[in-house]
């Protein structure tokens, strides 16, 4: 049995991957966060490794959001932004990730006084360096953070339209879902403008709320992919709609456990989603904060839910299909997945 598991883990390690749901600040490795904390001391983020790991033990989602914002406050200069992008690219390259859509929260950088144009310049430079140094193609999603102060909708849209990085592909919506109440019209208007400008609609929904939040992003925001979508299985009509439309779901099992959305990985609805014929991709969300990796999420799918090589390869292909890669890029990665499966 152990030989079989080891062989499957080796297959997962070698599997060419695409990461669609990972946050810039949440992707920061422990050494990177320690570097930033020491560069900008005096805040609540610990400067020692063991203390930082304890800092990452979350009670619930609001506590996670509080910790996330504390780490985010360490990103104060354009150089800090570039440090995060390159660290993410390095870590993903080690997992044979070829392409990543990295979620950036420009409003958070605006709140600490970074000019939008400077943030965009740092993102552009870092994307080029990531390709040169690590062989990873970076794309960006700008997300609206409904739980941050100020004009989080208008500020995010302005940067997406007036100062977009070269690799900007999508417009997202994240943060505490309950905080969206009262902002529905503004969020809808912003997504309408972003889509008119050619950006894809890529919001989070159904992570910490019920199916009604998923219906809102589908019907109100024209969602082309949905981050998490965890609660969809509670609504048979929604499941049927997602099966028919094949809107991709960005599933992040370990994240959902760490933020208290489910009690343990075995309780995750991933197997049910697959049985229902939904379009599922695997993702890591905020990997160092949750002590996981994208490779680790594939191992969870194999070890906990019994997925084999063909199933895992299908999930990897799903991520390629759901991505914003051009067709030549998609064909190249799929060809490598097929070659590995055949071997």
Tokens for 20, please give them. Answer: 């669609």
Exposure class string for 251-285: b at 16+ Cβ within 10 A, else e: bbbbbbbbbebbeebeebbbeebbebebbbbbbbb
Alpha-carbon distance 87 to 28, whole Å? 7
Answer for the pair 201, 222: CB distance below 8 angstroms, yes or no.
Answer: yes
Give me Rg for the CA atoms of the chain. 19
For 71, residues 6+ apart whose C-beta sits below 8 A from its C-beta are: 25, 28, 33, 36, 45, 289
Answer for the pair 268, 253: CB distance below 8 angstroms, yes or no.
Answer: yes
Residue of 130, 107, 116 whose CA lies nearest to 19: 130
Among candidate residues 77, 101, 177, 207, the one labeled active-site is 207
Strands 249-251 and 97-104: unpaired
Residue of 229, 297, 226, 286 whose CA lies nearest to 64: 286
Answer for the pair 91, 130: CB distance below 8 angstroms, yes or no.
Answer: no
162 is catalytic: no
Residues with catalytic function: 207
């Amino acid at each position: 049995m152990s030989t079989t598991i080891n062989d499957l883990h080796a297959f997962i390690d070698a599997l060419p991957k695409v990461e669609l749901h990972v946050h810039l600040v949440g992707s920061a490795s422990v050494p990177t966060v320690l570097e930033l904390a020491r560069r900008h001391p005096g805040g609540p983020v610990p400067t020692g490794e063991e203390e930082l790991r304890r800092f990452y033990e979350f009670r619930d989602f609001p506590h996670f959001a509080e910790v996330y914002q504390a780490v985010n406050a360490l990103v104060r200069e354009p150089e800090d932004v570039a440090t995060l992008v390159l660290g993410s690219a390095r870590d993903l390259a080690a997992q044979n990730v070829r392409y990543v859509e990295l979620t950036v929260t420009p409003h958070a950088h605006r709140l600490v006084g970074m000019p939008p144009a400077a943030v965009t310049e740092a993102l552009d430079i870092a994307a080029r360096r990531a390709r040169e140094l690590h062989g990873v193609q970076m794309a960006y999603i700008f997300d609206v953070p409904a739980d941050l102060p100020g004009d989080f909708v208008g500020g995010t849209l302005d940067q997406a339209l007036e100062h977009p990085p070269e690799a900007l592909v999508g417009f997202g919506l994240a943060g505490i879902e309950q905080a969206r109440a009262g902002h529905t019209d503004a969020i809808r208007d912003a997504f309408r403008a972003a889509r008119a400008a050619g950006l894809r609609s890529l919001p989070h929904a159904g992570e910490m709320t019920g199916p009604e939040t998923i219906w809102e992003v589908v019907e109100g925001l024209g969602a082309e992919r949905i981050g998490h979508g965890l609660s969809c299985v509670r609504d048979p009509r929604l499941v049927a709609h997602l099966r028919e439309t094949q809107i991709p779901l960005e599933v992040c099992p370990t994240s959902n456990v760490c933020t208290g959305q489910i009690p343990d990985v075995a309780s995750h609805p991933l197997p049910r989603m697959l049985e229902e014929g939904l379009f599922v991709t695997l993702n890591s969300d905020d990997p160092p904060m949750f002590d996981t990796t994208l490779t680790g999420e594939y191992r969870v799918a194999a070890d906990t839910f019994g997925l084999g090589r063909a199933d895992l390869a299908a999930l990897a292909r799903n991520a390629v299909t759901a991505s914003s890669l051009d067709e030549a890029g998609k064909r190249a990665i799929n060809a490598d997945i097929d070659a590995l499966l055949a071997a």
